[in-house]
Structure 1
């Protein structure tokens, strides 16, 4: 059974951007995507496997077709926010975490 960890306030993450959080020993990039039905939150590994740097949380959020993605700020590979899959190289995938919002708090499962 998953344990839910209180990470931050919803207000700590600006719409259509990301923040980095430490969960256990993992750096996690948490993204808030604004939408007509309310905001959606995603959590991916912050480590960019192409550059070796912990920078995914600083990437640009956007879409490629129907897919919501974040573009790595180093070499610009795109990672799907819902699955962590790299658009340019389907064999590369970032770890993802379940996210939920309770009140004004963002929680991650571990």
Structure 2
């Protein structure tokens, strides 16, 4: 099981990866949504905003009951979060296998698939 700090670092890597998209790819994936990522095995959640294909303003919540509502909600075990961010886990395959739970509109799911 990964630690809270490792998960936070993985989300930082994801933010850096998204920040490094070229202008053409960023323009194609320009949408703004609030995003939460709950890591149940650690009892922690993260909340931020996807804006212009960037992940910004990520805050962690150890009291998941205080987590603000989000338009895109992910629930993922800590080890799977690290594997997903590091490219060792395919988003769609993990989602269809039930390893990742996603609560989002169908359109947002398609947009997420293009980014990951």
Shared topology, TM-score over 0.5? no
TM-score, length of structure 2 as denominator length: 0.30
